[in-house]
Amino acid sequence: MRLDYFSEEELIQVHEASLEMLKNTGIHTISERFKKVLLENGCREENDRILFTQDIIEKALKTVPKQFKIYGRDPRYVVEMGLHKAYAQTCVGTPSIMDLETGKKRDCLVKDLGDFCRLADALENIDLISPVFPRDVPQEGIVTIETITMLCNSTKPLRICAESSHEMKSIIQVLITAAGGKEKLQEQPLAYIEVSSISPLEYGLHPAEALVDIVEAGLPLGVIPCPMMGSTGPMTLVGCVAMHNAEILAGVVASQMIRPGHPVIMSPRVTFMDMRSGLGLWAMPEMGLAAAASTQLARYYGIPVTATGFSGASKIADGQSSYEHLYNALMPALIGTDILAAAGSLDNCLTSCFAMLVVDDELSSVIKRTMKKNEITEEKLAVAVVDEVIRSKSNFLEHTHTRKALRAGELWIPRLSDRQPFEKWELNGEKVEEKAKRIAKELLSTHQVEPVSQEVNAEFKRITEQVYKQA
């Protein structure tokens, strides 16, 4: 199933608006490395801003791969980018977590990161792992420790967000160690690494430098600015989407200048401000609408894309968080996103929640069922079956066609949602958030992750000790 947010004419209008911004306003950066890449490949500097040309942008868009893969430590887990499968990914960078025992919000710890990764590893419909933001580790080496912790507690593909450029060497070394060598990592990347430029149209030192490092290392790059409508971007949705698109395209173009054909991901994250409180919101409907709009632009370019998806303003795992997450995820999924991020998040992506991750696993399952291509065959159309049942004065319940289709998975079967008659449900009266919490506890007590080898673990320990010494 595929839908469009823009008409073809509207899509071209937004695309051209983005190009006008890059050609006339341009971007600013204080990174000499990044600036050198752009200027040596045809961009020009005017009033301390880097301006692009139509030819430069179009040339770069032609070399971006339309498809590539990201791999887990376990070969069963492969994410196929560019096929619009709406894979689910956990939320990155949440500084707080809902304690599974007390139900109270508190600071994330590195133990929580390990537990959250193990739960995500156990959930069938969570496909990629991103880190929560542990407060009890040296912040100068936080992403290095996050990467090691994720690799030790999951065998699924990873998403890493580069906090600063000075960590890139150690992050890449961790991934090389886990993959078994630099060439093996480039052939089967265990992660994609994202950089977040600063809105409006600013490539800060660390994002710009990290972008160059990621591309030179041959690892898939994600570009993820986060403008806020009415604050760091235009108040109009299409205006903010157009500016955001320009910000992402600048990173895409730079990646192709460094290494034509390098795999890159567009990661739109248009948020908005509650003008009454000043809060930054990742809520519905604007979050889902903007994600749908940006996803269609990425589809127009033929570039793999992620969207926030599982986000909302609710502070706990409840009815509000469920309908917010489903709306914000389903909108870009129907347009054709590759990844839906932020699974397990609450409170505008500031808090992670074990129970919400279980809920989002179920939402991911139903979204994938929605996106699944429905093959039209003679057997599925069942013309002969209808005729046979009517002529024999029989019924569909006892027909072999019903049993065969049921066993083939024609009906979606929930793990979390309750479908019992009211009288049976009433015996326990368990609410969905209570059941999700119970399932999370059960999985954390039973799920075992395939450990890394002794050699890899020893190298991880050495790198971790080095991070603490340098703190």
Assign domain 62-371 to its CATH superfamily: Trimethylamine methyltransferase-like (3.20.20.480)
CA dist., res. 144 & res. 189, Å (int): 17
Per-domain boundaries in the chain: 62-371, 378-407
Q: Look up the pTM and report it.
A: 0.95
pLDDT tens for 179-212 read: 999 999 999 999 999 999 999 999 999 999 999 9
Closest listed residue to residue 151, CA positions, set 459, 439, 444, 437: 459
Confidence band for 164, pLDDT divided at 50, 70 and 90: confident
pLDDT tens for 78-94 read: 999 999 999 999 999 99
| pLDDT, position 163 | 80
pLDDT tens for 104-117 read: 999 999 999 999 99
Confidence band for 470, pLDDT divided at 50, 70 and 90: confident
Q: Looking at residues 281-309, what average pLDDT do you find?
A: 97
The two tokens of residue 285 are 């409907």
Share of the chain above pLDDT 90, in %: 96
Cis peptide before 65 (omega within 30 of 0): no
The two tokens of residue 282 are 């990742």
Tell whether the model's pLDDT for residue 74 goes beyond 90.
yes
| pLDDT, position 282 | 96
CA dist., res. 4 & res. 14, Å (int): 14
In whole numbers, what is the pLDDT of the chain averaged over residues?
A: 96
Closest listed residue to residue 78, CA positions, set 127, 122, 147: 127
Question: Rounded to the nearest 5°, which phi and psi values hold at 76?
Answer: -70, -25
- Residue 452 has what DSSP assignment? P
| pLDDT, position 374 | 85
| pLDDT, position 285 | 96
| pLDDT, position 1 | 64
Q: Looking at residues 440-449, what average pLDDT do you find?
A: 98
Phi-psi region of 290 (alpha: psi -120 to 50; beta: other; left: phi over 0): alpha
Q: Looking at residues 249-262, what average pLDDT do you find?
A: 98
